[in-house]
Amino acid sequence: MNAGISGQALLAAKAEGRAALVGYLPVGYPSVAGSLDAFRAICGDGDHPGVDLVEIGLPYSDPILDGPVIQRAGTRALERGLRVRDVFTAVEAVREAGKPAVVMTYWNLVDRYGAEAFARDLANAGGAGLITPDLIPDEGADWLAASEACGLDRIFLVAPSSTDERIRSTTAVCRGWVYATSVMGVTGTRSSAPSAAPELVARLRRLAPESLVGVGLGVSNGDQAATVGQYADAVIVGSAMVKTLLAAEDAGTPEDLTELRHVVADLAAGVRR
């Protein structure tokens, strides 16, 4: 597998003897400007390492794979006037903060924007690639061509239910890394590290040994990140970060990113154990 731009972040972490930390936040929540501040916060600074790779969520009106936390934030972002083009502003902000960025969204939004136009604008903004949770390679000819033309990473998903044939065919067309969904269900924090993840990653190592693997769905704290980081190349965290933004807004202080920074610090320490 070609490591691409986003895969380089995973390889850099691997060179340090650890897994990479991938942090997800939706653009547009609590506002577009507020989300840019949140993205900058999780990128860290000279005293705080932050995440290694930022996953920018582009909210969609029918988020079938998102859990209640991410759905709540995404719905509010859409109600407040979020537009597709705002995701490119978020990508630029992350790149200016010194970290690579990938976008995660549902295929209908990209299709309506135009695959070639989306790839062009994402590349021009400095984006590394796209995660497409509801698009399988068999139906992704337009995106395969557009991403190839613009040199973008394409990150597809595999699940515990994926057949060996599906894993081989999916990883064959991924560029950057492959997203291993460690549970059957929607996103959300869980009390323990996902139990199906080690077996799924082991299958990926056997069937696609050149692939870099990120594990997502369920990780919420540094202890779980440390556990997942023992066998995965990247630990992906979303709901645990988004929850802090929702809590801040509920408390009447949407600009307060203190708890978000605490969560990221805990997770960053976890992958470094």
Residue 62: what pLDDT?
86
Measuring CA to CA, how many Å separate 46 from each of 41, 49, 176?
12, 7, 26
Could you confirm whether 55 is annotated as catalytic?
A: yes
Q: Quickly list H helices, the chain.
A: 4-15, 32-42, 68-79, 86-96, 107-113, 115-124, 141-150, 164-173, 197-207, 222-228, 239-250, 258-271
The pLDDT value given to residue 183: 60
Catalytic one of 16, 37, 45, 66: 66
**What's the rounded mean pLDDT across residues 124-142?**
96
**CATH topology (fold) of 4-268:** TIM Barrel (3.20.20)
Give the pair of three-digit tokens for residue 252. Answer: 């009447």
In this predicted structure, the answer to whether residue 35 has a pLDDT above a threshold of 70 is yes
pLDDT above 90 coverage of the chain, percent:
88
Return the domain boundaries, the chain: 4-268
Whether the pLDDT of residue 187 is over 60: the answer is no
pLDDT for res 188: 44
Q: What is the pLDDT of residues 195-223, one digit of tens each?
A: 789 999 999 999 999 999 999 878 999 99
Tell me how far apart the alpha carbons of residues 271 and 273 are, in angstroms, rounded to a whole number: 6
Catalytic-labelled residue, pool 45, 52, 55, 153: 55
Separation between Cα atoms, residue 38 and residue 140, nearest integer Å: 32
